Amino acid sequence: MVTLKRSKGVPEALQYVADHPVQSNADTIDVPAWELIARRLFHVANNPDTRVRGSLGRASTAQKMLLDRLVGRRAPGTHPARASAEGIDFADLTVGIIEKPEETDDDVE
């Protein structure tokens, strides 16, 4: 089995195309297949045509594929990323101005 000198894995190919957005070689016959495929995937993800039926769905699928391969997925068993809600404690500025109504026997049944 002969291995190619210029072959790359999927994450390496996508990262190469992300780092080099302009194709350096104008002659497509000398461009490796992994680069052509990765460039086409980026093109589909970044240029949806709203006039073509299904184009936005293909674009979002391609974006998800790129995101999963370049950034990675979360580890199994971990919680999804969520925005953390930080609470702010404000000083009560109504102290002494607004008094609580006093409870009477009529209110309690």
SS3 label, residue 99: coil
The whole-angstrom separation of Cα 52 and Cα 35 is 26
**Structural domain boundaries of the chain?**
10-70
Backbone angles phi, psi at 25, to 5 degrees: -100, 120
pLDDT higher than threshold 70 for residue 3: no
The whole-angstrom separation of Cα 76 and Cα 82 is 16
> pLDDT tens across 47-75, in order?
888 888 998 899 999 999 998 888 877 77
The whole-angstrom separation of Cα 41 and Cα 63 is 9
Answer yes or no: are the C-beta atoms of 56 and 48 closer than 8 Å. yes
> pLDDT tens across 12-45, in order?
999 999 998 888 766 777 888 888 999 999 999 9
Answer yes or no: are the C-beta atoms of 74 and 81 closer than 8 Å. yes
pTM of model > 0.85:
no
